[in-house]
Amino acid sequence: MPKILYRSLPAFTIVEMLVVISLTVLLMLTATSLFMAMLIGNTKGTVTQKVKSEGEYAASQIEFLLRNAVSLQPNLLNQTCVAGMDSLSLKSIDNGVTTLSKETDPSDGKDKIASNSGIYLTSGTTDITAGPTFDCRQSNDGTKTYVTVSFALRKGTPGVDKPRDIVEQVFTTSVSLRIY
């Protein structure tokens, strides 16, 4: 009978297998944590951009109305031009009076920056945490009127959402009125 020679193939020991498996698990854990950090950062960026976009839109619309105002009118508390007003009334070129203030939308119960014409400058996806506050002042010679508007918007609810998911930003703009 002929003799059969067997060649032994290279094999791995149990220790070598455990080292390879351990290193693979560590690499997978690192990749997973990096992926999760990227997802959380992306979500935070999206929420921040939403708050910023909504606040800038509201501020620009308020600026537009103020720049094109013909005169300031007494607001809901009969104030025309004082510091710390929570509403501001102005007369436009077409003689319409617009009052800007915080208003509760009856459809969703959320506070929004609104005009008396029923137009909301902020949506229900963000919360107004401060303002709007209208600080009105006149120049020393009484020829120019300046209005500073400030408000704060927040997305996320403290105590409900994780702190990393809460974004709050303050918006301030100043306008020199061109009152004729």
So where are the chain's domains?
14-176
The pLDDT of residue 179 is 62
Average pLDDT over residues 116-145: 80
The pLDDT of residue 143 is 73
CA 92 – CA 101 distance, rounded (Å): 17
Tell whether pTM > 0.75: no
Residue with the two structure tokens 């704060």: 152
Phi, psi of 47 (to 5 degrees): -65, -40
The pLDDT of residue 114 is 83
Asked if residue 93 has pLDDT above 60, the reply is yes
Let me know the angle formed at the C-alpha of 68 by 65 and 74, rounded to the nearest 5 degrees.
65
CA 166 – CA 172 distance, rounded (Å): 20
The pLDDT of residue 168 is 84
pLDDT in tens, 66-81: 888 888 888 878 878 8
Q: What is the mean pLDDT of the chain?
A: 81
CA 154 – CA 24 distance, rounded (Å): 42
Average pLDDT over residues 123-130: 80
Asked if residue 9 has pLDDT above 80, the reply is no
